[in-house]
């Protein structure tokens, strides 16, 4: 596994805790936002008070109507208020999950180390990571660590979107392509499943089926009894997209210092996975 892929596998669970945790209900109640609006407002807040198509472009595979409704609601509440509530929620959740480890001096060291990596990123053509890179770093070490990781995570995401654009996989088609069964069972991937994609991204079953038909017409997928799977050409494109994303991302991680940060981060990620709050995980006794 290359350094970029190792970093992704290590940091992603830590990052997505912001969007899957037991504190979300209270955060939504405090802001008066529904799940979509809190997510869109919290993740998109660094973009500033912009028009919703900007957020749609940055998020890439969400239904524009869902983004427009959610972004409008978040702006009405106040993006700063949403961002502050997200930070408070993260602080609370990370302290609860990490226990005594939440007070370790290493947290601040990791935040500083990942912060230096974030400062080294080329941000041209990477709007969401550039927006996150402009967020003032919180004083609280746990939230500062999460914020520096968010910059790096969104940078990888922006790189992946660039690869999707080059290969003409736009919006929902990109999500449906990713969710297709891979002909090689040895290929391990994080997938949401059709129902979760439709729920979280705001698309309909008709939208999904039309996207599958477009992929089939391009020779990238084929219909199956229980859905769709990638053809040989589709699997080759999937592998190329992942390799391209890793290649674009690799330079920032291909140093002993960066790899040491990732290694030191693993116990904190494991604690989150063991807490069982993320989709596909179960709490360990």
| pLDDT one-digit tens code per residue, 44-70 | 999 999 999 999 999 999 999 999 999
> Mean pLDDT over residues 131-159, rounded?
97
**Where does the pLDDT of residue 188 fall: very low under 50, low under 70, confident under 90, or very high at 90 and above?**
confident
Q: Spell out the long-range contacts of 223-226 with Cβ–Cβ below 8 A and sequence spacing 24 or more.
A: 224/181
Mean pLDDT of 13-39: 97
Residue 285, pLDDT > 70, answer: no
Whole-angstrom CA distances from 19 to 12, 15, 87, 165 are 12, 8, 12, 26
91-96 long-range Cβ contacts below 8 angstroms, 24+ apart? 91/140, 91/142, 91/143, 92/23, 93/17, 93/21, 93/22, 93/23, 93/277, 94/17, 94/142, 94/143, 94/146, 95/142
Residues 67-86 pLDDT 10s: 999 999 999 999 999 999 99
- pLDDT of residue 128 exceeding 70: yes
Percent of the chain scored above 90 by pLDDT? 93
Task: Give the Cα separation of 249 and 203 in Å (integer).
Answer: 30
Q: What band does 165 get if pLDDT is binned at 50, 70 and 90?
A: very high
Listed residue (222, 227, 189) closest to 205, CA to CA: 227
Which residues, 6+ apart, have CB-to-CB distance to 148 below 8 Å? 111, 114, 115, 117, 118, 137
**Which tops the pLDDT comparison, 2 or 282?**
2
CA dihedral (197, 200, 202, 205) positive or negative = positive
Percentage of residues in the chain having pLDDT higher than 70: 100
222 — pLDDT class (breaks 50, 70, 90): very high
What is the rounded end-to-end Cα distance, in angstroms, of the chain?
30
- Is 137's pLDDT higher than 90? yes
* Residue 283 pLDDT exceeds 80: no
Please give the average per-residue pLDDT across 122-151, as a whole number: 97
Q: Identify the bridge partners of residue 221 per DSSP, sorted by sequence position.
A: 230
Mean pLDDT of 127-143: 96
pLDDT value of position 279 = 83
- Mean residue pLDDT of the chain comes to 95
Q: What is the pLDDT of residues 85-126, one digit of tens each?
A: 999 999 999 999 999 999 999 999 999 999 999 999 999 999
The count of other CB atoms within 10 Å of the CB of residue 171 is 20
């Amino acid at each position: 596994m290359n350094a970029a892929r190792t970093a992704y596998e290590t940091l992603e669970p830590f990052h997505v805790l912001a969007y899957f945790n037991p504190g979300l209900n209270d955060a939504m109640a405090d802001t008066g936002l529904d799940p979509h609006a809190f997510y869109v407002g919290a993740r998109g807040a660094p973009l500033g008070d912009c028009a919703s198509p900007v957020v749609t472009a940055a998020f890439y595979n969400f239904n524009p109507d869902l983004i427009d409704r959610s972004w409008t609601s978040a702006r009405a509440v106040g993006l700063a208020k949403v961002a502050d509530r997200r930070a408070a929620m993260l602080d609370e959740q990370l302290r609860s999950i990490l226990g005594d480890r939440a007070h370790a001096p290493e947290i601040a060291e990791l935040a500083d180390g990942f912060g230096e990596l974030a400062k080294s990123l080329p941000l041209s053509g990477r709007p969401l990571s550039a927006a996150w890179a402009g967020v003032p770093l919180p004083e609280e070490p746990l939230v500062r660590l999460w914020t520096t990781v968010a910059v790096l995570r969104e940078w990888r995401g922006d790189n992946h979107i660039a690869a999707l654009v080059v290969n003409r996989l736009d919006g929902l088609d990109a999500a449906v392509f990713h969710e297709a069964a891979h002909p090689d069972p040895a290929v391990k991937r994080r997938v949401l499943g059709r129902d979760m994609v439709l729920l979280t991204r705001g698309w309909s079953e008709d939208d999904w089926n039309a996207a599958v038909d477009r992929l089939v017409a391009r020779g990238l997928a084929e219909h199956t009894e229980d859905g769709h799977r990638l053809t040989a050409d589709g699997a080759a494109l999937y592998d190329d997209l992942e390799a391209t994303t890793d290649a674009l991302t690799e330079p920032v991680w291909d140093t002993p210092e960066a790899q040491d940060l990732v290694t030191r981060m693993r116990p904190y990620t494991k604690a989150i996975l063991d807490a069982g709050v993320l989709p596909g995980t179960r709490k360990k006794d």
